[in-house]
Amino acid sequence: MATANHPAAPKLSTGVQPLRAAKGSSFLWRKLHSLLGIIPIGAFLVEHLLSNFEALKGPAAYAAQVKFLNSLPLVRVLEWTFIFLPIAYHAIYGLYIWFRGKSNIVYYPWAGNWMYLAQRWTGLVAFLYIGYHVATQRFLGVSLPENPGASFHKVQAELSNPVILAFYVIAMIAICWHFAYGIWLFAAKWGITPGVKSRKRFGYLCAAFGLALAIMGLAGIWAFVSPQYKNAPENVQVTTLVEPGR
Amino acid sequence: MASPRIIVVGGGLAGLSSVIKIAEAGGSVDLFSIVPVKRSHSVCAQGGINAAKNLKGEGDTTWQHFDDSIYGGDFLANQTPVKAMCENAPAVIDLLDRMGVPFNRTPEGLLDFRRFGGTLYHRTAFAGATTGQQLLYALDEQVRRFESEGKVKKYEGWEFLSAIIDSKGVARGITAMNLRTMELRAFPADAVILATGGVGALFGKSTNSVVCTGSAQSAVFQQGAYYANGEFIQVHPTAIPGEDKLRLMSESARGEGGRVWVPRKAGDKRVFSQIPESERWYFLEEWYPKYGNLVPRDVATRAIFKAVYEYGLGIDGQPMVYLDLSHIDRETLDRKLGGILEIYEKFVGDDPHEVPMKIFPGMHYTMGGLWVDFNQMTNIPGLFAVGECEYQYHGANRLGANSLMSCIHGGFITGPIVMKYAKSVDAVEGDGGAAAELARQAEINKALISNQGTENPFKLWRELGQTMTEHATVIRYNKGLQQADQKIMELMDRYKSVNLSDKSQWANTSFAFARQLKNMLELSRVVVQGAFLRDESRGAHYKPDFPDRNDEKFLKTTKARFTGEVEGPSFEFEEVDTQFITPRPRRYDAAK
Amino acid sequence: MATKTVTLEIKRQASPDSPAVWEKFELEWRPGMNVISAMMEIAANPVTVDGRETTPISYDSNCLEEICGSCAMRINGKARMACSALVDNLEQPIKVEPLSKFPLVRDLQVDRSVLFENLKAVQAWVPIDGTYDLGPGPRVFPAQQEVSYPLSNCISCTCCMEVCPQFNEATGFVGAATIAQVKLFNNHPTGRVLAEERLRALAGDGGVQECGFAQNCVEVCPKQIPLTDAISDISRDVLFQKAKDLIRS
C-alpha cells in the first residue's frame, strides 16, 4: 500500500485490557473470598459474639463457654480449617482486591461509593484487629484452651488499658459493619437481590442485623469493663455445665 | 479468484447494511468511518421505519406505501427504485426483527405500528423514541460479528478524501487520512461504496450530526460524479435552536395544543411573561384559521420564516419564535408529552411547563445527493452511493419514516450488486492511479498546512451557514440565491488565505475541518445554483415568485457536474421515471 | 453593563507523550451555551484568557443530542456528556478534562475502543442464520421488550467504566456496559443460543466477579440503564453456569 511520507506518530498508552473471555481463575478465587466471608467467617463471628455475651453472666459462665468450645471434637482442626485459614485468605485476598481498586470518592461522593470505600477500611481495621487479637488472646500469655478458667481475667486485663479498649470498640463496630454490608453485597453480587427495591429492603434488614450484632458485641465488651465483675479472679473453677447466673 | 475487496465509506445504516450483504456473500470489506460506526448519525432518528406489513387490518399494501412515497416526494423521484423499496420493506422489517431490534410490540407479541405524517395507515414500526439508534445497533452488532470472523476490517477514525480513478475512468479504491496520525494512505479495492449521509453542515447549524458535512460527496463530485437534486433540502418546522446545533422538537407539541407566537413589536426586549396577550401575534392561527397551529410541516415552516425574516419579528431579533405550551396544565403535559419536554429542559435549561419553548425551522434532511443509476452506481464505474448521500428515493420531499428504510433497503440491494460488479470488472492496470491520487492529496495537505493567511476556517464556515440558511432553506428568491452564490464565491476566495492555528501532525481537528470546508463550499454552490435554476415550487423547494409546480418544465432531475470554472457547476436535466403513477397535484388539505 | 462571561479551564495535552497543561478561556456568555458550544467558540477564536494564541481543542463529538455517545469527558471532575452540560448549570470556572481511564490521544480525545473489544469478547449479537428473507422474527411480548429496550439504549459513552473504581489497568474489569449487553442478548429468544458462551466469557479474568458494587455506574449513566440490576442478574447466571460446567465436566 502506498503511503505518503509521515513522521513517526506518538504511541498511545495501552490502557485497560479487554476481557480475557473464559480465561483465568480469578472468578473462583473472588467468589471463594466472597463466600468465605459469610460462611464460615460470618457464622463464626456470630458464634463468637454470642459466646462473648455469656460474659455478661460472669467469669464462671464465660469460662464454661470457653471450655465448651474447646471440648468440641477435632477442635484444633476445626479452628484451623474453619477459622484461621478462611480469615487469613479472606483478609489477604481482600487486601489484594483493595489494592487493585481505585477509589474516586472525591469526585463521586455517592452512597454506594462511600460504602465501597468503607468496606475496604473496615476490612483493614478488622484485619489488624484480628491479627492482634488472635496473637494476644489465643497464642500469647496463658493458653486458654488449656486454662478456660483464666479466660475472663485475661480479657479483662487486656481491656484495662484504655487504648486497647478503644481499639476493641472501634474494631467491634468496624467488623459488624463489614459483615452486615458484606451480607448485603453478597446478596447483590450473587444475584439474590437483583432489583433496586429488593436491594433496598434487604439493605434495611442488613443494617438492623449489623446494629444488633454490634450492640451485642459491645455488650460483650462491657461485661469485662463493667464494675460488676471488677477484679475477676485470675482463674475460676470450671464445670462443663453452664451455671445459670452467678 | 480471491474474494472481491470492497471499500465501504460510512458506517451508518446504509453503509452497515451494505457491509453485511457483502461479507455474507464472501467479499472482504474495508469499512471506513470518521467516528466509530456505532456513533454514526443514524442513531439520531427517532420516529420509526415504514413498511406496509398491514398488521392492523387496514388493507395497507406496498402499492399504497409506494403511492404515498411518490406523492409525498411531489413526483420527482424515479418510480422504479421507490417501488422496489416499498415492496422490499416488509421483508427488511422482518430481518431487523430477527436481528433483535427491540421494536415495540402488541399484546400478542407482534410488531406494533404507528401512524406517521403523510399516510392514513399504521405503517411505521418503532422502538420507543430511538428507532434509528436501535436499528443502527442491530446492524453494528452483525458487522461486529463479521469483524470478529475476519471478514470486515474497520478503519474507524479515517476520513475519506477521494476516489482513486484509473485512466479509463473506473474507480479503483480510495485515499483516506487517519485523523489521529494524519497519515495519508491509498486503499485499493474492486469497488467503492459511499454511504456518507447528509449535508447538514452546509447550513451551519442543522439537526444533523457534526460529521454530516457532505465532504465525501463533494470530493467525488469534483472528480466527475454527478450530483442530483441538490436543491431539495428538508426543513423541520420545529427545531430547538442551540448554540451548537439544532435539535428536533416533535410535531406532537403542536398536536397537543402548542401555540406558535411572536411579540407584535419588532425587537421587543421584554421577557415573554411581561408581554400581554394583546401584544402577542399568533400568526399561524391568524393566517390559517382553519388549521391554526396544525398546518402541515412545510406550511408551518414557511409561515415561521415569513414572520421572522419578512416581518422581522423573531424573539429578541433572533431567528426564533415561541411554541407555547405553558397554558396547558402540568399534569396533561406530563401525561402526553413528558419525554420530549424533558429533552427540551435538558438541552435548553428552561421548563416548557412554565416557559414557552423557543423554536425555529431547521435543516433536517438531504433529499438530493450523488446521482446513481437503478443499480446504485454513480456515473463513475465502480463507485456506488447509498443512503442519504444519494438522491433517488425521496424526490422533492421525504415522507416521514422513509429515510431509515431507504438507507437499509439501499444497502441491502447494493451489497449483491457490488459483488457482481466486482467479480466481473477488468483487472486493474498497474496501481490504477493510486500513487498519482495520493500525491495529489499530499499536495493539498501540504499547501493547506503551510498556508499563510488570516482566515479562520471555523469563522468562514459560520458565514457559509448563515448565508445558506437565510437564502437556501425554506423560502427562496432568485435574488437571494444569487447573493448566496456571490457570498460562497467570496468565501472560496477567502478560503485561499485560510491559516490554521494548529499546524501539528497529530489529531489535528482543525486541519481535517479545513479540508471538509473546501468541499462544503463547492457543494453549496450546487445547492444554491440548482435552486436558482428551478423556477417552480415543488416539495421542499418553495419560491414565492413561482408558487406552483411546473411539471412541463421541471418534472426533471437536476444533475450538476463539476467544471472547475468560476461560474460553478454545469447543469443538465434528466427525465423522471413516472411509468407507474401519473403525477397529480399534491395537497394535504383534501383527499389525494 | 459589562457583558456576562463564561470561564473555562481546559486540560490540554498535545499528544500522549507531551506534558499536560491547563489553559484558561473567557468567552462571552450566550443563552443556552453548553460545553461543546463553548469549545466551538474557542475553535473560531483560539485565544486564551491572557491573550495568547493557541490551537482549537481536540475532542470527540458527533450528534450533540446525547445519543451517539461521543462527547464523554470530565466536567468539574465528573464524567458526563459535554453536549448536555449546560454552562448555566455549572460552577465556574468550568474545569474540563479528558476521561482518565482511557489512553489519551490529544486534549479531550481518548481511545475507548476497549469497550468494542469487550463487546466482541462476549459475542454481543444475535446470531442469525443469514439476511435472506426467513419471515418474521420470534414473538416477543411487551413485558420482555420493556426489559430489553432500556438495555439496548446504551450509547457506549463509557461513563460507567470511567467512574467505576474497579475499572482500571490492574483488574482489566470489563465494566458495566458490556455486562448489561450480555443480559440484553441472553434475554433475546434467538440471542439466547449463545448465552452459555457469553456467561463463560464473563467468568474470565476481568469478568463480572471484579465488580465491587460501588454503584457509581448506575448513578452516572446518562441513559439511566439499570446497570446494577444487570450485574446482579448476570453474576447469578455466571455462577450457575460455572456450577453446571463443574458438575457436567
- In this predicted structure, the answer to whether residue C45 has a pLDDT above a threshold of 70 is yes
Q: What is the pLDDT of residue A7?
A: 60
**Angle of CA points A126, A127, A130, to nearest 5°:** 75
User: Which cell is B390 given?
Assistant: 444519494
Residue C166: list chain A partners with CB under 8 A. 100-102
Residue C111: list chain A partners with CB under 8 A. 12, 15
Backbone torsions φ then ψ of B508, nearest 5 degrees: -85, 95
d(CA B356, CA A137): 74
Mind giving me the DSSP string for B148-211?
HTTSEEEEETEEEEEEEE-TTS-EEEEEEEETTT--EEEEE-SEEEE-----GGGGSS-SS-TT
| Number of C-beta neighbours around residue B501 at 10 A | 16
CATH number at residue A44: 1.20.1300.10
Are B406 and B350 members of one domain? no
**Confidence band for A2, pLDDT divided at 50, 70 and 90:** very low
Which chains form contacts with chain B, at 3 or more CB pairs under 8 Å? A, C
Choose the weakest-confidence range: A22-31, B73-82, B409-418, C1-10.
Answer: C1-10
**Confidence band for A245, pLDDT divided at 50, 70 and 90:** very low
For residue A236, is it within any domain? no
Q: What is the pLDDT of residue B1?
A: 56
CB-CB contact of C120 with C199 (8 Å): no
Q: What is the pLDDT of residue A90?
A: 98
Residues C240/C242/C248/C249 CA torsion (nearest 10 deg): 180
Q: What is the pLDDT of residue A240?
A: 53
Q: What is the pLDDT of residue A120?
A: 97
Domain around A53: 34-229
| CA C10 from centre of chain | 20
- Within 8 A by CB and 6+ apart from B72, the residues are B118, B395, B397, B398, B399, B402, B586
Q: Taking residues A37-58, what's their average pLDDT?
A: 95
User: Which cell is B281 given?
Assistant: 401575534
Instruction: Give the minimum alpha-carbon distance from C97 to chain A in angstroms, rounded to a whole number.
Output: 13
Instruction: Give the minimum alpha-carbon distance from A17 to chain B in angstroms, rounded to a whole number.
Output: 17
Q: Which of B184, B187, B431 sits opposite A4 (nearest CB)?
A: B184
Q: What is the pLDDT of residue C70?
A: 98
What is the C-alpha end-to-end distance of chain A, expressed in Å?
A: 94
d(CA B158, CA B8): 12
Are B345 and B388 members of one domain? no
Domain final residue pick, B361, B389, B406: B361
For residue A98, is it within any domain? yes
**Confidence band for A246, pLDDT divided at 50, 70 and 90:** very low
Superfamily holding C5-110: Beta-grasp domain (3.10.20.30)
d(CA A84, CA A74): 15
Backbone torsions φ then ψ of C95, nearest 5 degrees: -95, 125
Report the residue of chain B nearest C54, measured CA to CA. Answer: B501
In this complex, do A101 and C166 lie within 8 Å of one another by their Cβ atoms? yes
DSSP H or E segment with residue B6: strand B5-9
d(CA C25, CA A113): 33
Are B226 and B241 members of one domain? no
CB contact A8 to B (< 8 Å): no
Task: Name the one residue in this structure whose C-alpha cell is 459491645.
Answer: A218
d(CA C234, CA C202): 9
In this complex, do C219 and A195 lie within 8 Å of one another by their Cβ atoms? no
CB-CB contact of B27 with B422 (8 Å): yes
Instruction: Give the minimum alpha-carbon distance from C65 to chain A in angstroms, rounded to a whole number.
Output: 24
Residues of B forming the active site: 297
Domain around B67: 1-232+367-592
Are B387 and B315 members of one domain? no
In this complex, do B412 and C55 lie within 8 Å of one another by their Cβ atoms? no
Domain final residue pick, B313, B331, B361: B361
Instruction: Give the minimum alpha-carbon distance from C50 to chain A in angstroms, rounded to a whole number.
Output: 29
Backbone torsions φ then ψ of A139, nearest 5 degrees: -110, -25
- CB < 8 Å from C in window 137-196 of A: 185, 188-196
Q: What is the pLDDT of residue B588?
A: 60
Handedness of CA C32, C34, C36, C42 (dihedral sign): positive
In this complex, do B107 and C141 lie within 8 Å of one another by their Cβ atoms? yes
Single-letter residue type at C204: G
- In this predicted structure, the answer to whether residue A9 has a pLDDT above a threshold of 90 is no
d(CA C83, CA B240): 14
- CATH placement of domain C113-248: 1.10.1060.10
- Within 8 A by CB and 6+ apart from B172, the residues are B164, B165, B166, B188, B189, B382, B428, B432, B433, B434
Instruction: Give the minimum alpha-carbon distance from C247 to chain B in angstroms, rounded to a whole number.
Output: 31
Q: Which of B182, B187, B442 sits opposite A1 (nearest CB)?
A: B187
Are B200 and B345 members of one domain? no
The model's pLDDT over C203-213, given as tens digits with 9 standing for 90+, comes to 999 999 999 99
d(CA B211, CA C64): 11
| CA B190 from centre of chain | 27
The strand pair at C21-28 and B259-263 is best described as: unpaired
Residue A19: list chain C partners with CB under 8 A. 117-118, 121-122, 172, 174, 178, 201-202, 204-207
CB contact A104 to C (< 8 Å): yes
Q: What percentage of chain C carries pLDDT values higher than 90? A: 98
d(CA B146, CA B211): 25
For residue A29, is it within any domain? no
Instruction: Give the minimum alpha-carbon distance from C133 to chain A in angstroms, rounded to a whole number.
Output: 33
Q: Which of C102, C214, C226 sits opposite A116 (nearest CB)?
A: C214
The model's pLDDT over A148-190, given as tens digits with 9 standing for 90+, comes to 999 999 999 999 999 999 999 999 999 999 999 999 999 999 9
CB contact B91 to C (< 8 Å): yes
Residue A104: list chain C partners with CB under 8 A. 163, 165, 216
For residue A235, is it within any domain? no
Handedness of CA A141, A147, A151, A157 (dihedral sign): negative
d(CA B163, CA B174): 4
In this complex, do C239 and A21 lie within 8 Å of one another by their Cβ atoms? no
d(CA B97, CA B53): 13
For residue A42, is it within any domain? yes
Residue B505: list chain A partners with CB under 8 A. 6-7, 9
Strand partners, B495: none
d(CA B435, CA C130): 39
Task: Name the one residue in this structure whose C-alpha cell is 438522491.
Answer: B391
CB-CB contact of B542 with B298 (8 Å): yes
Closest to B464 (Cα-Cα) out of B138, B203, B275: B203
The model's pTM: 0.95
Task: Name the one residue in this structure whose C-alpha cell is 469485662.
Answer: A224
CB contact B466 to C (< 8 Å): no
Single-letter residue type at C23: E
Three-state secondary-structure class, residue B567: coil
CATH number at residue B583: 3.50.50.60
Closest to B380 (Cα-Cα) out of B372, B389, B388: B372
For residue A143, is it within any domain? yes
For residue A23, is it within any domain? no
**Confidence band for A6, pLDDT divided at 50, 70 and 90:** low
Q: What is the pLDDT of residue A133?
A: 96
Query: What is the residue extent of each domain of chain C?
Result: 5-110, 113-248
Are B281 and B430 members of one domain? no
More confident residue, A121 or B340: A121
Q: What is the pLDDT along chain B (592 residues), one digit of tens a residue?
A: 578 999 999 999 999 999 999 999 999 999 999 999 999 999 999 888 999 999 999 999 999 999 999 999 999 999 999 999 999 999 999 999 999 999 999 999 999 998 877 778 999 999 988 999 999 999 999 999 999 999 999 999 999 999 999 999 999 999 999 999 999 999 999 999 999 999 999 999 999 999 999 999 999 999 999 999 999 999 999 999 999 999 998 877 887 889 999 999 998 888 898 999 999 999 999 998 887 887 777 788 989 988 998 899 999 888 899 999 999 999 988 887 777 788 899 999 999 999 999 999 999 999 999 999 999 999 999 999 999 999 999 999 998 889 999 999 999 999 999 999 999 999 999 999 999 999 999 999 999 999 999 999 999 999 999 999 989 998 999 999 999 999 999 999 999 999 998 999 999 999 999 999 999 999 999 999 999 999 999 999 999 999 999 999 999 999 999 999 999 999 999 999 999 999 999 876 554 4
Are B220 and B263 members of one domain? no
Residue C224: list chain B partners with CB under 8 A. none
Residue A100: list chain C partners with CB under 8 A. 166, 168, 170-171
Closest to C110 (Cα-Cα) out of C164, C74, C64, C155: C74
Are B352 and B373 members of one domain? no
Sheet holding C5-12: strands in order across? C21-28, C5-12, C94-97, C72-75, C78-81
For residue A43, is it within any domain? yes
Q: What is the pLDDT of residue B479?
A: 98
Q: Comparing C5-110 with C113-248, is the CATH topology the same?
A: no
Residue C124: list chain B partners with CB under 8 A. 141, 144
Number of domains in chain A: 1
In this complex, do B185 and A7 lie within 8 Å of one another by their Cβ atoms? no
In this complex, do B133 and C155 lie within 8 Å of one another by their Cβ atoms? yes
Domain final residue pick, B339, B361, B383: B361
Number of domains in chain B: 2
Three-state secondary-structure class, residue C81: strand
Q: Which of C54, C105, C139 sits opposite B110 (nearest CB)?
A: C139
Three-state secondary-structure class, residue B266: coil
In this complex, do A189 and C200 lie within 8 Å of one another by their Cβ atoms? no
In this complex, do C178 and A19 lie within 8 Å of one another by their Cβ atoms? yes
CB-CB contact of A154 with A142 (8 Å): yes
Could you say which DSSP state residue C10 is in?
E
Alpha helices in C52-104 (DSSP H): none
The model's pLDDT over C135-146, given as tens digits with 9 standing for 90+, comes to 999 999 999 999
Backbone torsions φ then ψ of C58, nearest 5 degrees: -85, 125
In this complex, do C142 and B95 lie within 8 Å of one another by their Cβ atoms? no
Three-state secondary-structure class, residue B235: strand
CATH number at residue B305: 3.90.700.10
